[in-house]
């Protein structure tokens, strides 16, 4: 996320101590997300008085409001790191674990000591484990490991990393290739017939059934790779996979088109997490059709659908207000928005 000019001027400039103290108390004309980033910055201020004041302000910040900020995918990594290392609430730590902006090194740090329930959440992100195997290595040494989590670690190790050699080291973001590049450099480990759709039936239903049969024979690692490197038809199937890591990887495919995003946003047989991720992607949700589909899709989380209603044109709001296929709260918001725009009561 790009910082506002006001925040950037503060971070890169040389403000006086009195000005820094004022900001350390949280008294600064910035949105909450940037205030938190500024406070985390001031928490490391060389002046002890400023640093301690920023620390007190951060500690006193209501947990509910903190949670709202660190759940945002665009949350600044420094803020995520601060709350991962200084606040012990399970709810906050879980939000940090789920946030895609959290650095892998912080996830690895958490994996080394969090409770078993949080460790399971960390292990659930198979794509992240593939990108940064040190996380699994740290999880193995977690003293809070329960027998069930131990078995899960062994299964992941055997399924994804068996046969790999060498010691995994931390990589800097500049050195780490994107996930698709990692897979492009590897052998795909799929039979040749699974790399091509040639020879499949022309009838759409029979064709989809044939692709489904191929995919059913694959293990999770192969499905993740196919989600990145496969065809549009294969992505259309994998986006519906019950494994959220496989489905989520489809959205990271370098071959993904905006037309596919429009199709996914209207699908009622995919998880609400996929729809939430689409809604949080600024470029995708800028497309009118995507926003409209998300509002009309009953699988879209209510808070997201409600937020997007105001984006719709009046003629579409009128239709939405009469659509029995959407929830009553969405219809009421549509009716109220139409009334506000037309001046009717």
State the first-to-last Cα distance of the chain, in angstroms, to the nearest integer: 39
* Pairwise CA distance, residues 210 & 231, whole Å: 14
Query: Would you state the pLDDT for residue 199?
Result: 57
Give me the pLDDT at residue 344, please: 61
Q: Which pLDDT tens digit goes with each residue over 273-318?
A: 999 999 988 889 999 999 999 999 999 988 888 889 988 999 999 9
**Structure-block tokens of residue 60:** 């006193």
Helix residue ranges per DSSP H, 13-125: 17-24, 32-42, 48-60, 63-70, 77-86, 90-98, 104-111, 116-123
Residues of the chain falling short of pLDDT 70: 1-2, 87-88, 162-202, 344-345
Query: How many secondary structure helices (H) and strands (E) does the chain include?
Result: 24, 0
Q: 287-313 in b/e burial notation, b at 16+ Cβ within 10 A?
A: eeebbbbbbbbebbeeebbebbbebbe
Read off the pLDDT of residues 55-103 as tens digits, 9 standing for 90 and up. Answer: 999 988 888 888 888 888 889 999 999 999 886 688 889 889 888 889 9
Residue that has been written with the tokens 């992100």 in this structure: 125
Q: How far apart are CA 50 and CA 10, in angstroms?
A: 14
Q: pTM for this structure? A: 0.48
Separation CA 279–CA 284 (nearest Å): 7
Name, in order, each residue with C-beta under 8 angstroms of 269's C-beta and a sequence gap of 6 or more.
Answer: 240
Q: Using alpha carbons only, how large is the chain's radius of gyration in Å? A: 23
Cβ-contact 265, 275 below 8 angstroms: yes
Domain range annotation of the chain: 5-160, 270-345
């Amino acid at each position: 996320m790009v910082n506002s000019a006001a925040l950037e001027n503060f971070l890169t400039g040389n403000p006086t101590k009195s000005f820094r103290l004022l900001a350390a108390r949280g008294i600064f004309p910035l949105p909450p997300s940037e205030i938190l980033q500024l406070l985390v910055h001031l928490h490391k201020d060389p002046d002890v008085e400023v640093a301690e004041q920023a620390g007190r302000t951060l500690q006193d910040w209501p947990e509910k409001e903190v949670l709202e900020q660190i759940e945002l995918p665009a949350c600044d990594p420094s803020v995520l790191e601060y709350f991962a290392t200084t606040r012990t609430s399970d709810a906050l730590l879980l939000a940090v674990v789920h946030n895609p902006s959290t650095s892998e090194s912080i996830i690895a740090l958490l994996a080394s000591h969090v409770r078993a329930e949080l460790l399971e959440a960390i292990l659930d992100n198979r794509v992240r484990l593939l990108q940064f195997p040190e996380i699994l290595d740290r999880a193995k040494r977690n003293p809070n490991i329960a027998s069930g989590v131990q078995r899960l670690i062994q299964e992941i190790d055997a399924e994804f990393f068996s046969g790999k050699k060498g010691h995994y080291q931390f990589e800097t973001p500049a050195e780490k290739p994107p996930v698709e590049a990692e897979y492009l450099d590897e052998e795909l480990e799929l039979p040749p017939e699974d790399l091509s759709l040639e020879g499949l039936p022309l009838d759409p239903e029979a064709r989809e059934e044939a692709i489904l049969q191929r995919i059913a024979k694959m293990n999770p690692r192969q499905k993740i790779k196919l989600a990145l490197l496969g065809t549009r038809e294969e992505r259309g199937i994998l986006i519906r996979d019950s494994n959220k890591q496989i489905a989520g990887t489809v959205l990271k495919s370098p071959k993904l088109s905006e037309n596919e995003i429009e199709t996914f946003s209207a699908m009622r047989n995919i998880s609400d997490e996929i729809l939430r991720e689409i809604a949080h992607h600024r470029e995708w949700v800028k497309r009118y059709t995507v926003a409209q589909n998300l509002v009309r899709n009953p699988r879209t989380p209510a808070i997201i659908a409600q937020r997007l209603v105001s984006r719709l044109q009046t003629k579409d709001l009128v239709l939405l207000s009469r659509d029995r296929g959407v929830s009553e709260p969405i219809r009421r918001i549509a009716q109220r928005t139409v009334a506000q725009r037309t001046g009717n009561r």
